[in-house]
Amino acid sequence: MELNLQPRAPACFVSGEPFREGDRVASLLVRSESGDVVRYDALESNAGRLAPQGFVACRWVQVFRPQPAEGSRERALKLTAETLFLTLADPSTEATPESDRLVRFLALLLERKRLLRPRGRTPGGTRELYEHSRSKQMYEVPSIDLSPEFFTAVREQLSVLVGEPRSPEAAPAVPAAAS
Q: What is the pLDDT of residues 83-127, one digit of tens each?
A: 888 888 888 778 787 888 888 888 888 888 888 998 988 888 788
pLDDT at 171 over 80: no
Q: Indicate if the alpha-carbon torsion angle 171, 175, 176, 179 is positive or negative.
A: negative
88 CB contacts (<8 Å, ≥6 apart)? 58, 60, 99, 102, 103, 106
Domain boundaries, the chain: 2-162
Q: What is the pTM of this model?
A: 0.54
Q: How far is CA 9 from CA 39, 47, 56, 66, in A?
A: 9, 14, 18, 11
146 pLDDT above the threshold of 90: no
pLDDT at residue 18, rounded to an integer: 92
What single letter denotes the amino acid at residue 50?
Answer: L
